Structure 1
């Protein structure tokens, strides 16, 4: 199953690879070179298909849990001052996505979308300390009665040139459902209440919509 954001790119890539195969078969007479070109084209197509895959995830709905919004590796767990929305101290948990990870963004909690904003910006590498404030990004805040407010931020990386955000203010979010897509790499930051109980560790691999990042102490 492939994400809808990749349908056009997959179709174009398939046509290009097919054309490349036909041209290589017709104009390249050296067998090893012909095989090499076809192999490169096939690997390219496989990478495109892998990048836009959208596997089904089985979210265990729980209003007291925050699930990971994306696949990847936990690279930041720290107390920070969140400047854009809360304007106070929060626990930040960041998940970095390599180009090989699934790049679907999912709602970390269910509830009401109370804030959604797109910011144009730079394309610093995703792990750069200033990427969260200076890169192209979207900020979304979801609120429910059990957990309160959770902010998640999609951040473009050096390769990402487009962030897709489906969350609109006053939408009803379902935990684990698609909320966006980051094309060609990056990271997502979560900003949680200070009394949150973090359930992951640095460098831990997580799955979007399934891995529990945190739970409320309430």
Structure 2
């Protein structure tokens, strides 16, 4: 396992904070042994929490042009037909994956193809499971068209804790299934909008792994 590049700055700031906090406690509260040990334990726990959030576990990926792969680790919270008004402006099958702070937060391309549309939206920070978060929160929208002509829209959505969305794609890019297209810090959600009739291989509340779990099949 390695640490994702998006974590370098946050980890460095965390270490600086821990060093300053412990130095202050050691200087001002020399006689309060219990307080010093409490801060030591707190500092160690904080460092581990931040470190695990930015972990990048080693995985073996297999590309399959007939499959749609889950773009993120987490739990399936939505599988339903809905109206998509930003790009398609018609009915689509929505699949949403909620990422808690303990999940790996790397986002991966669900299919290979060409990026036909990209847009970043500043917005609110509603809880990621709130239905309005899909249209009101800070988010990005990416549409990738498969070689067979099927377009799939996927959307990074910030949550109540997530305060930074990172993306690595732009319109016109040729992307490869399972390669990283972005990262979201500290709790978030990814929505996918698929053609009606797409065969879905997931169930509600199922735990999935990005780049590994097969979400559905391309027609």
What TM-score, normalized by structure 1, do the two folds share? 0.95
Partner of 1:184: 186
The 5 A counterparts of 1:69-148 are 69-146=71-148, 148=150
Structure 1 segments (4+ residues) deviating >4 Å = none
C-alpha deviations, 1:148-199, integer Å up to 9, x for none? Answer: 1111000011111211111111111111111111111110001111121100
Q: What secondary structure, in the 3-state scheme, does the structure 1 residue paired with 2:56 have?
A: coil
Deviation of the 1:23 alpha carbon: 3.4
CA RMSD, Structure 1 to Structure 2 (Å): 1.3
C-alpha deviations, 1:82-121, integer Å up to 9, x for none? Answer: 1111111111000001111111111111111111100111
Deviation of the 1:22 alpha carbon: 3.4
**CA, structure 1 residues 56+147, in 2 after alignment: closer, same or farther (shift >3 Å)?**
farther
Deviation of the 1:25 alpha carbon: 3.4
Partner of 2:41: 39
Deviation of the 1:71 alpha carbon: 0.6
Deviates more, 1:27-36 or 1:196-205: 27-36
2:161 counterpart of 1:159: yes
What TM-score, normalized by structure 2, do the two folds share? 0.95
Deviation of the 1:46 alpha carbon: 0.8
The 5 A counterparts of 1:38-77 are 38-77=40-79
Deviation of the 1:203 alpha carbon: 0.2
**CA, structure 1 residues 147+210, in 2 after alignment: closer, same or farther (shift >3 Å)?**
farther
Q: State the aligned residue count.
A: 217
Residues 20 and 38 of structure 1 are in contact (CA less than 8 Å); yes or no, is this contact kept in structure 2?
no
- Extract unaligned runs of 5+ from structure 1: none
Deviation of the 1:59 alpha carbon: 1.9
